[in-house]
Chains A and B, each alone.
Chain A
């Protein structure tokens, strides 16, 4: 085999590998979409649905439709969701947006303290945060329940079965993001803030007017990551939110999976729906994730 043929073989192999990988990634995605468009909830061996039906989507979007109850008699009835899934959709977006915004606020200020200020037990606290973040939030489920039950008795707004209560719990998962933002702050040379200090900026003004505008890339990343994780979070949400009009998309979707009859069609439609806000957030935040935001400011 000469050199040219070798290059060709390599090209073909590389393409085959990438295409194969793509198929591997795309197949579950296509499966979910086709499950949402397939009539009935039975999952056959075919990938694409042979009988396309928009019933699941009508259900999810709150449009009443006719369903055949008895195929023999042709009896139909109107189907409409008890709690509109769109309400769950709206709950999810609300909770994720507010939590992500809160995460950025809390973790950026904490990261600033860890990156720029010197105080007793700074390294100890950082280390503790690092270790704590290794434990998934799920481990503290019982604790969350008990705490929210307690606070709910004194302040109805942040008790069990409240969205605000869930947001409070979510805001506790900031240690990962503190480390990320702290790392980013440390790449910004301190001389810029020192210059601002000489110019007369207070520490807060320096934070708001110098550091924050330069940190947009990392904030975009943190927002995207936290938004995705809260949109798809299930365990904590299912424990905290009990009544169906408080449910998030993840909890609501899971409610269709009854022991005897798993309504995959509706589940799939909700899954696809939950992907929409994530995609929108991604597209919106993308332009902030540009490198070289500090370029020109200092000589590297």
Chain B
């Protein structure tokens, strides 16, 4: 049954001023299909249109053009309460003058449900969230994490088809964030509802999502499961956005010489010059004498040699960040630093000469002009 599936077709949102003149287009024609029961994460930098998209699904923003369907029913003209959705806000949005019980029961009270039903439903939900002993308190007497749980409870009580989360963990401290992350994931496993989750934190996206939709400037850059986004980014933006620390992206040209294909970085000093072997050869072969971008993740610039696909790169250390079990080493590169992730507890010093092994199998090449991956 696809009752909780969400279909976004050619969605556009343009803001207008008081006189009706268009000022800014936040969402520039996106198409997205979310399966019933899926945990879809919308991720991207500030201003990319992810919150706007979520609010249009909720019904809090008017749709300029395009359609949104929930469970195969077009909901463009429906009020939020009739769409079968529930939303958890970034700043909790609890009613401060009401008790926790009334906060959770408000929706049911408005729908004129019977008192027994209300106290039953709220009781069950609050018990599951560990809030049943504080139902008579007001929000200001609760901690941040407890307030967020009340917000969750309020959403659950509505028995929605789709849960919408608008950066719910951004206001919590790091420890609470990790705890709530797993609670939300557990909730998804328990309830099985479709959940659309907006965040700017790519770690949250990677750990929680069944699929991730990376957005930028009102457009969708790529939609895929976390591992695919990591391994096979379709464009430069996704490659640089997913993964922390970010992928090393070197600008350079493809040269054909000495019977092989080489990548030559555009730099005067410390330029990387590597022969592209294996599956990279035919890909780069299409771009001889053209500009490309060479991408390699820090974790694939290591000191372990596994197979002949590794190429040594030697440079000096500029910054070293020891993390305990491994170190993030910033090596002097052609333009900026080459970040490498080296295992072990060795302490690196400024100016130290280090040789890292670059794993050619994990290299991604991008067209410098179109910014899309070269396949």
Asked whether B139 lies within 8 Å of A296 as measured between CB atoms, the reply is yes
The verdict on B347 contacting chain A, using a C-beta distance below 8 Å, is: no
In the complex, A210 Cα to B96 Cα: how many Å? Answer: 9
Report B-chain residues with C-beta under 8 Å of the C-beta of A201: 106, 110
Q: How far is the CB of A73 from chain B (nearest CB, A)?
A: 71
B30-56 contact mask (Cβ, 8 Å, vs A): 1 or 0? 000000000000000000000000000
A177-200 contact mask (Cβ, 8 Å, vs B): 1 or 0? 000000000000101101111111
Question: Residue of B at shortest CB range from A119?
Answer: B18
Q: How far is the CB of B121 from chain A (nearest CB, A)?
A: 14
In the complex, A220 Cα to B58 Cα: how many Å? Answer: 35
Report A-chain residues with C-beta under 8 Å of the C-beta of B97: 213-214, 293
Q: How far is the CB of A236 from chain B (nearest CB, A)?
A: 34
> Which residues from 78 to 103 on chain B have a C-beta closer than 8 Å to any C-beta of chain A?
79-81, 85-87, 89-97
In the complex, A296 Cα to B90 Cα: how many Å? Answer: 14
In the complex, A198 Cα to B106 Cα: how many Å? Answer: 11
The verdict on B174 contacting chain A, using a C-beta distance below 8 Å, is: no
The verdict on B20 contacting chain A, using a C-beta distance below 8 Å, is: yes
The verdict on A120 contacting chain B, using a C-beta distance below 8 Å, is: yes
The verdict on B231 contacting chain A, using a C-beta distance below 8 Å, is: no
The verdict on A123 contacting chain B, using a C-beta distance below 8 Å, is: yes
The verdict on A118 contacting chain B, using a C-beta distance below 8 Å, is: yes
Report A-chain residues with C-beta under 8 Å of the C-beta of B111: 200
The verdict on A72 contacting chain B, using a C-beta distance below 8 Å, is: no
The verdict on A122 contacting chain B, using a C-beta distance below 8 Å, is: yes
The verdict on A299 contacting chain B, using a C-beta distance below 8 Å, is: yes
Please give the number of chain A residues whose Cβ is less than 8 angstroms from any Cβ of chain B in the complex: 30
Asked whether B140 lies within 8 Å of A195 as measured between CB atoms, the reply is no
The verdict on A298 contacting chain B, using a C-beta distance below 8 Å, is: yes
> Which residues from 330 to 348 on chain B have a C-beta closer than 8 Å to any C-beta of chain A?
none
In the complex, A220 Cα to B87 Cα: how many Å? Answer: 33
A119-130 contact mask (Cβ, 8 Å, vs B): 1 or 0? 111110000000
The verdict on A205 contacting chain B, using a C-beta distance below 8 Å, is: yes
Q: How far is the CB of B350 from chain A (nearest CB, A)?
A: 41
With A120-B20, A123-B18, A199-B106 as contacts: A299 and B92 at CB distance below 8 Å: yes
Asked whether B96 lies within 8 Å of A295 as measured between CB atoms, the reply is yes
Contact with A297, one of B19, B86, B90, B92 (Cβ below 8 angstroms): B92
Contact with A200, one of B20, B93, B110 (Cβ below 8 angstroms): B110
Asked whether A198 lies within 8 Å of B86 as measured between CB atoms, the reply is yes
Asked whether B93 lies within 8 Å of A297 as measured between CB atoms, the reply is yes
Asked whether A200 lies within 8 Å of B81 as measured between CB atoms, the reply is yes
Q: How far is the CB of B22 from chain A (nearest CB, A)?
A: 14
Report A-chain residues with C-beta under 8 Å of the C-beta of B138: 296
Report B-chain residues with C-beta under 8 Å of the C-beta of A118: 18
Contact with A120, one of B19, B58, B80, B158 (Cβ below 8 angstroms): B19
Asked whether B18 lies within 8 Å of A198 as measured between CB atoms, the reply is no
The verdict on A294 contacting chain B, using a C-beta distance below 8 Å, is: yes
Report A-chain residues with C-beta under 8 Å of the C-beta of B141: 296
In the complex, A281 Cα to B69 Cα: how many Å? Answer: 55
In the complex, A199 Cα to B301 Cα: how many Å? Answer: 51
Asked whether A191 lies within 8 Å of B18 as measured between CB atoms, the reply is no
The verdict on B60 contacting chain A, using a C-beta distance below 8 Å, is: yes
In the complex, A250 Cα to B79 Cα: how many Å? Answer: 53
The verdict on B142 contacting chain A, using a C-beta distance below 8 Å, is: yes
Asked whether A196 lies within 8 Å of B106 as measured between CB atoms, the reply is yes
In the complex, A123 Cα to B17 Cα: how many Å? Answer: 10
Question: Residue of A at shortest CB range from B166?
Answer: A191
The verdict on B144 contacting chain A, using a C-beta distance below 8 Å, is: yes
With A201-B110, A296-B141 as contacts: A195 and B81 at CB distance below 8 Å: no
The verdict on B147 contacting chain A, using a C-beta distance below 8 Å, is: yes
Contact with A205, one of B19, B110, B142 (Cβ below 8 angstroms): B110
Contact with A298, one of B60, B87, B92, B154 (Cβ below 8 angstroms): B92
Question: Residue of A at shortest CB range from B89?
Answer: A191
The verdict on B171 contacting chain A, using a C-beta distance below 8 Å, is: yes
Listed residue (A122, A195, A205, A297) with the most chain B CB atoms within 10 angstroms of its CB: A195
B107-124 contact mask (Cβ, 8 Å, vs A): 1 or 0? 100110000000000000
Which B residues are within 8 Å of any A CB, using their own CB? 18-20, 58-60, 79-81, 85-87, 89-97, 106-107, 110-111, 138-142, 144, 147, 154, 158, 171
Pairs A–B under 8 Å by Cβ, sample size 7? A189-B91, A194-B89, A199-B158, A200-B81, A205-B110, A299-B90, A299-B91
A-B pairs with the 5 shortest C-beta distances?
A: A296-B140, A297-B96, A296-B139, A199-B107, A200-B81
Which A residues are within 8 Å of any B CB, using their own CB? 118-123, 189, 191-192, 194-201, 205, 210, 213-214, 292-300
Q: A195-B93, A298-B96 are in contact. List 10 more A-B contacts (CB 8 A).
A: A119-B18, A120-B19, A121-B18, A123-B18, A189-B91, A195-B154, A198-B60, A293-B97, A296-B94, A296-B141
